[in-house]
Structure 1
Amino acid sequence: MKADNRLHFGVSILETSLPWLLENHSPLRDCLLTLRHQSEQGLQRSNQRGWHSQDDLFNSDDPLIQQLSQQVFEVGTQLIRHAEKFPADEKVLLSSMWANINDFGAWNAPHAHLPCEWSGVVYIDVNENPQSAGGGIHDGDILFFDPITVGAPYRPATTVSYTPKIGSMYVFPSYLMHMVAPHFEEKPRISVAFNFRIARNIEAIAR
């Protein structure tokens, strides 16, 4: 597996791609659109006008979603173990996973995913060449915020943005504040987000 560790603000943002998703994105897209139709209300989290599924998507009986969950789990645990310098048998848990569908005008407000340790997102269906909305930000970009809020001139780059492609996967520390820029296309923007927990941390709290 090839992955890039992009350090921004001294924080690791891990980026890779899922070839399996590239091969299956059309039926997976249709599957998630059907899921929204069946449970249209969804949840209200950071989503503004967008649809957020229940956060136990990995419990779906659909074979495609089961395969996606396995891909996210296997790749995510590898990236986290590498970033944390954990041994290969370190227990990492996929604690939640949900679909996001943003129609025209939808966006996601700034938020973090504490108390989880690592979070991420994988992109099911996006415009890979969106128009810039100004300032270098594109339709539907994911933006990360500098966790040290001193600002210019000490740390002039207060945000960094990524324009994802179909199959792109990002994994980052859950404390890192992020948001999704507004989506201004008729075709829905579809992603699946997730959280990981480090088992040893949960066990320590439990005692």
Structure 2
Amino acid sequence: MSKNVLIVSSINLDTCKQELSEGIYLEKLKEFSIKRSNEGGWHSHYKLHKIPSSIFNFLAEEILEISSHLLKEYLSNKNSPKLKMTQLWANINKKNDWNSPHNHISGKKNRSEWSGVYYLDCENTDKDNEKSIGGELIIFHSGPKGVVEKHFHTPKNGQLIIFRSNALHMVTPNNTNKDRISIAFNLYEEL
């Protein structure tokens, strides 16, 4: 998908899914939502991976290991890139909540070359409902002759998505009555 790239993989965290979900809801009880691209919904602080001895440390290590392997293949490197995580945060989108177009451009404090999301709980359990459940990730990029093109990705539980941090992207509204839980992150390659 052009230079913005969309790398999709899976992480099987079924054994700790409940613990991750409980950890996110516990963080939600402790703090108010940060307002960023979220239109409604809850957005945690950016340092979940820094909470000592937490399930988020385990998740961060899994994300780093898998991302390093995926980017090694994508970049055709002989060695896996040494990645550092600068931010890890959770999002809970209730019915009609969404994320407006944004990117994760690096700043002096939070360097970022690659961004991504892990989908913890995003699927509709109502198999009889054929209406779109929403929550699609849309990545925008310039196509031929500068025409803006969109790449739509329908998330599935356990998926890990990686894309360039400067890629403009958004999340469509959640059309279900079920909380949609995702964990986002920013990474950079240490030289």
Question: Where on the TM-score scale, by shorter chain, does this alignment land: which range?
Answer: 0.7 to 0.9
Aligned residue identity for 1:27: E
Q: 1:139 aligns with which of 134, 140, 165?
A: 134
Match of 1:43 in 2: 34
The alignment yields a C-alpha RMSD, in angstroms, of 2.1
CA distance in 2, matches of 1:140, 1:131: 15
* Partner-residue secondary structure (3-state), 2:6: strand
Task: Give how far 1:186 is off.
Answer: 2.1
Note closer, same or farther for the CA distance 1:65–1:10 as it changes in structure 2 (3 Å cut).
closer
CA distance in 1, matches of 2:182, 2:130: 19
Aligned residue identity for 1:97: L
Match of 1:17 in 2: 10
| CA shift digits 1:120-170 (9 cap, x unpaired) | 00011112567444xxxx51111111234733xxx7xx2121111110000
Match of 1:78 in 2: 69
Aligned residue identity for 2:63: V
CA distance in 1, matches of 2:168, 2:64: 22
Q: Which runs of 5+ in 1 are unaligned?
A: 1-7, 201-207
Match of 1:205 in 2: none
Q: Which runs of 5+ in 2 are unaligned?
A: 107-111
Aligned residue identity for 1:146: H
Q: Taking structure 2 as the reference length, what is the TM-score of the superposition? A: 0.85
Task: Give how far 1:87 is off.
Answer: 4.1
Structure 1 residue 119 corresponds to structure 2 residue 115 = yes
Match of 2:157 in 1: 166
Match of 1:31 in 2: 23
Structure 1 residue 150 corresponds to structure 2 residue 141 = no
The number of residue pairs the alignment matches comes to: 182
CA distance in 1, matches of 2:161, 2:56: 18
Instruction: Provide runs of 4+ in structure 1 moved above 6 Å.
Output: none
CA distance in 1, matches of 2:178, 2:154: 16
| CA shift digits 1:58-117 (9 cap, x unpaired) | 012353222111111111122223322334264321111110111122100111111221
* Structure-to-structure mapping, 1:1-16, within 5 angstroms: 8-16=1-9
* Partner-residue secondary structure (3-state), 1:12: coil
Aligned residue identity for 1:13: L
Indicate if the aligned counterparts of 2:69 and 2:80 stay in contact, CA closer than 8 A.
no
Indicate if the aligned counterparts of 2:41 and 2:97 stay in contact, CA closer than 8 A.
yes
